[in-house]
Chain A
């Protein structure tokens, strides 16, 4: 006799763990199925943990979660070939507990999170792939796995199966991923002594720095680079739209190699030993690429539902939040003695619309398209900006007025007056 659960969660990443934890904590009978050998074995992220999203699920997570460094300083670099113009924001306010965000190492963090899920009472089965959703007419009634006797039933199935979401695609809940809607990111972790990390980035006592980068490092492709400080390692990576990689015939690892060789980045990695290299797809299509998020007996959470705010590099917090809200919706529906029909699950969407998740994604809905159609934001402007800084800062007997005129001329020569105005308008629309 096949087992029946209140809910089946497919996947043990941040969204799946948030959903399974919330459901199990409320006393529901929850099964979580993970394809990897253990939770975290297949999961890749930058990785920054935003405390708020997790705090709403596990308020005392700081007591035992494996956290690397809390972030007290954010640098934003616009890079040319051998220079950068940047801003730093550093605040002692970020250096006072409870800290707002942390760097983490996902293999360790996911293991911890999954432990919490299991303690809450969910049953976790790993190394098992869900191959199909079991249907009863239009209704999802369970899942079929790749194992003998693998049919399992539940009132609701929550798809937390990640960016590729083969399941949602197979079931027709989501179209095939468009290469213009996903970024391919690669990263490396370089290990070095804790003291080196701290002296190199001017931090102490578990504090850390993040550097977000854009400009020539992506070689004209739409994308960004990043560098995060961990306890005794540094994560460095770069990501660009998959369609751009394809069009430019560019290898991601080569792009990262060249970025690491940039004269402003290389000294930060000096002496480190590279121990980890990973790559992952990031759904960056945003609001416009979002699929239907719920239906008869099913819901989509996390990357699978395109919940990534590419501008602010937020993903795992959206994943956790959508997982939690999906679970809370199910808890309410079941507590009211109702069935998990599309009508009853529609509250999930309503709650998301009301939260920062949809509000933020909606705000930037035009951004992916605008940046994608206008590569000058990743090539011409970083170059112009850097050249302008160089011209102004170089002391060479030329008066400042002439320098200013020269800078203005380089801008109009490169983009024309109309071009500049048009770009300003596009930027305003993108960030409106």
Chain B
């Protein structure tokens, strides 16, 4: 079995702030991490590998320094890492990114057929949740999003059964391989890498593919050219100017406190009084 896990190196959004004056994102000194949602998918892929054997390839598209994120994935147990990097990819939105990644997965499949593709549910920097589904569509893979558990995998029958978190319940879905899965967060916990894997990661040779090597010919569909999304404005929502008001009460009895508060509400919002009064009547 061959699993490809797509990951992204992202700035640790917990440490990002918006510049108070210019409204731009301040990235200075913010450490780069593997998108946390991707780790749930990588761990699930590694668990499938533990159970059924096979290989896990991690793939990312990004600048040269994204190599560090791939190396980290190797330390967790991925067998191989591929970095797709080219100046031509700069400025890509989710459409162009999924086009490039799909091409790279196709390329990977030429050597060894890909049975499963895992992606993170979404990234913490873009939050679109569009790249995974975009890849599935382009590669015509069955798409299983928000998966909370892989119940069963039958390699002989090429069948997979998963649990998917849906609104108001859990769906149990069965489909055929190859398919693309995005895991829900919190469904598993990334393992603590073994010393051997730490050594392997430190010494690993990350394969670096440029545009041609990733099998992309149509430059109009990648990078800025292939990205119809336009960010027209970025802003930090302003804090409301209204200040909280402390309401003093004379008695500390719950009943008296409630009456004071309700009375205050009714004096400030006369309409509310009318509506409530009607209802009570």
Contacts and interface: CB of A to CB of B under 8 A. Distances in A.
Interface of A: 3, 37-38, 41, 107, 123-125, 128, 145, 147-152
Considering residues B29, B31, B195, B202, which has the most beta carbons from chain A within 10 angstroms of its beta carbon? B195
B211 to A, nearest CB: 28
Contacts of A123: 199, 202-203
The 10 closest A-B pairs by CB, nearest first: A148-B194, A147-B195, A150-B195, A149-B195, A125-B198, A149-B194, A149-B196, A123-B202, A147-B194, A125-B202
B11 to A, nearest CB: 14
20 contacts: A41-B31, A107-B29, A123-B202, A123-B203, A125-B198, A125-B199, A128-B195, A128-B198, A145-B195, A147-B192, A147-B194, A147-B198, A148-B194, A148-B195, A149-B194, A149-B195, A149-B196, A150-B194, A150-B195, A151-B195
B193 interface: yes
A92 B243 CA distance: 55
Nearest to B193: A147
A128 B195 CA distance: 9
B126 to A, nearest CB: 23
Nearest to A144: B195
B199 A37 contact: no
B205 to A, nearest CB: 14
Contacts of A38: 31
Interface of B: 29, 31, 192-196, 198-199, 202-203
B43 to A, nearest CB: 16
A41 B202 CA distance: 18
Contacts of A151: 195
B10 to A, nearest CB: 15
Contacts of B203: 123
B202 A152 contact: no
Contacts of B193: 147
A124 B198 contact: no
* Secondary structure call for the A interface: loop
A124 B202 contact: yes
Nearest to A124: B202
Nearest to B17: A275
Contacts of A145: 195
Contacts of B199: 3, 123, 125
B34 to A, nearest CB: 12
A37 B31 contact: yes
B19 to A, nearest CB: 10
A188 B203 CA distance: 37
B154 to A, nearest CB: 31
B27 to A, nearest CB: 13
Nearest to A38: B31
A145 B202 CA distance: 16
Contacts of B31: 37-38, 41
Contacts of A152: 195
A413 B199 CA distance: 68
Given A124-B202, A128-B198, A147-B195, 6 more contacts: A123-B199, A123-B203, A145-B195, A147-B192, A149-B195, A150-B195
Contacts of B202: 123-125
Contacts of B195: 128, 145, 147-152
A150 B193 CA distance: 10
Contacts of A107: 29
Nearest to A275: B29
A260 B193 CA distance: 45
Nearest to B191: A148
A154 to B, nearest CB: 14
B204 to A, nearest CB: 12
A123 B199 CA distance: 8
A149 B200 CA distance: 13
Contacts of A150: 194-195
Nearest to A37: B31
A17 to B, nearest CB: 16
Contacts of B29: 107
A37 B198 CA distance: 13
B269 to A, nearest CB: 40
A41 B33 CA distance: 13
B215 to A, nearest CB: 32
A52 to B, nearest CB: 28
Contacts of B196: 149
B29 to A, nearest CB: 7
A151 B193 CA distance: 14
A149 B199 CA distance: 11
A38 B71 CA distance: 13
Nearest to B201: A125
Nearest to A3: B199
A78 to B, nearest CB: 35
A38 B202 CA distance: 13
A126 to B, nearest CB: 9
A148 B194 CA distance: 5
A145 B194 CA distance: 10
Nearest to A147: B195
Nearest to B203: A123
A124 B71 CA distance: 13
